[in-house]
Structure 1
């Protein structure tokens, strides 16, 4: 479960990714060529998260959307990537679970690790496009990745799903419930650390991406999921203005829309699957 606090230091300094990703011994070291139509989907947890943060979403996709988990990409505290599992040639909707051993890392560090994961998987398995389903801090790290320059050989994002993304702060740290608001321009009135990290690079976000943004509301008067306010989660739309993003927003309400319950909510899982694979269900 991805709960807890997000200190302002979370967006401080970070290490840059090394030029090549290193993988330890695994069952997926030989590069396998597949049809370019095969698009893997990476599941990324958030701050204080683990495999448990995305297990339910992955299991639901396997049961209801004809998808299959093929790999787990585990990143050690020193940035080494280990791939475990088997990616068969006939899998049409491969799922890859990303797990950070150090789940307290700052956004730039998470971004560097994600870069290494994508590089390692691409080196072992041929693909050109990919999807990401991210929760909480994983959303910010993924968007930061997409705003970072990469070699021409680096795979391109196709669809992005953000669940409870704290794009402009976290309640109890640098945000306060019902304090922030959108100005007439569409910009958030108060711009916190995560927003300040992303805003200068927003024009580097790739054009034409399909983005599903999932927002939680406890319906308790805080206009939040308990940690992330509506303004914080929705600020990604203004950040990506003029980038021709195909933006869709879905709101969920009640106790099952709490920050860490969103990734356990079957209605959220169904919504994600329909967005990624429209023929699902």
Structure 2
């Protein structure tokens, strides 16, 4: 064997060993940081204004009893956006759920001079939770479930991150009692929402207008379930049926699928919708 051949072989072996060392180092680093744990599509539950993760517990408990999931953790979010994950998602966990708990649960106040700016800032809490999950787990898609204000935070998150390649793809979204075109008594919002045949509001709140680009940005592979309540008055007591249904105009043109479900009767009251077995059943059947 010539000296030249020996040099080539030695160089090749050195390169292989170097690549192997890099692979082992990277693999160990990911394991230490948890990022190497690949999990099934996680589902985030986001509560409403002035609320907490307790508002999500009934829906999550139903999912557990239905054997739709066997893994639930909580994400506590500080007012500054620092996320603390409580619990661990195991590698082979079935449909893991993340209960989001916002310490700053009143980040949007009625009558703010610039509610759109405040909502954009508030929606960063959703992004903060997702980034915290990404540091520990590997996943490509995500499901998002919101109640009341949580829906606006989700909608603004989607609006602001639709083209962000670092964020996971939206798989499914469930909206419960979303006040997209304002809630009853909201300053600056239309007193009544009249929709045309496409679901477009005749009069729009400033917050709704700020979301109009969702018509061009909403993820095309995502499925949407929009649940709202009607106690017999055309509203759930806080959100009119048409304000909730106005989400259709923003997303249905691009979404993989879009469907609406109306809940009726006294259990259709705004704060009771997340404690409603009919809602639980719809949610579980849609997500999993």
Q: How does 1:100-249 map to 2 (within 5 A)?
A: 100-106=102-108, 107-149=119-161, 151-174=164-187, 175=189, 179-184=192-197, 186-219=199-232, 221=233, 223-249=234-260
Is 2:183–2:238's contact at 8 Å kept on the other side of the alignment? yes
Separation in 1, partners of 2:136, 2:143 = 17
Call closer, same or farther: CA 1:55–1:185 in 2, change over 3 Å. closer
User: Aligned pair 1:31/2:43, yes or no?
Assistant: no
Q: Which structure has the higher relative contact order (CA within 8 Å, separation 6+)? A: 1
Call closer, same or farther: CA 1:254–1:117 in 2, change over 3 Å. same
Q: How does 1:3-42 map to 2 (within 5 A)?
A: 30-34=34-38, 38-42=40-44
Greater displacement, 189-198 / 111-120: 189-198
User: Per-residue displacement from partner, 1:163-200 (whole Å, max 9, x unpaired)?
Assistant: 000110000114566x3211355311120132122114
Separation in 1, partners of 2:199, 2:174 = 21
Separation in 2, partners of 1:191, 1:56 = 33
Call closer, same or farther: CA 1:185–1:161 in 2, change over 3 Å. closer
Deviation for aligned residue 1:79? 1.4
Structure 2 counterpart of 1:9: none
Is 1:163–1:262's contact at 8 Å kept on the other side of the alignment? yes
Q: Can you give the 5+ residue segments of structure 1 that lack an aligned partner in the other structure?
A: 1-27
Bigger radius of gyration among the two: 2
Separation in 2, partners of 1:141, 1:256 = 25
Call closer, same or farther: CA 1:265–1:110 in 2, change over 3 Å. same
Call closer, same or farther: CA 1:187–1:136 in 2, change over 3 Å. same
Q: Secondary structure of the equivalent of 2:258? A: strand
Q: Secondary structure of the equivalent of 2:62? A: helix
Call closer, same or farther: CA 1:270–1:184 in 2, change over 3 Å. closer
User: Aligned pair 1:258/2:269, yes or no?
Assistant: yes
Structure 1 counterpart of 2:14: none
Q: How does 1:45-124 map to 2 (within 5 A)?
A: 45-106=47-108, 107-124=119-136
Q: Secondary structure of the equivalent of 2:263? A: strand
Q: Secondary structure of the equivalent of 2:225? A: strand
How many correspondences in the alignment? 245
Structure 1 counterpart of 2:280: 269
Separation in 1, partners of 2:198, 2:68 = 42
User: Per-residue displacement from partner, 1:134-180 (whole Å, max 9, x unpaired)?
Assistant: 10111111111111135423211100000000110000114566x32
Separation in 1, partners of 2:197, 2:173 = 27
Q: CA RMSD in A?
A: 1.8
Call closer, same or farther: CA 1:260–1:33 in 2, change over 3 Å. same
Deviation for aligned residue 1:265? 0.3
Greater displacement, 226-235 / 242-251: 242-251
Greater percentage in helix? 2
TM-score, length-normalised on structure 2? 0.80
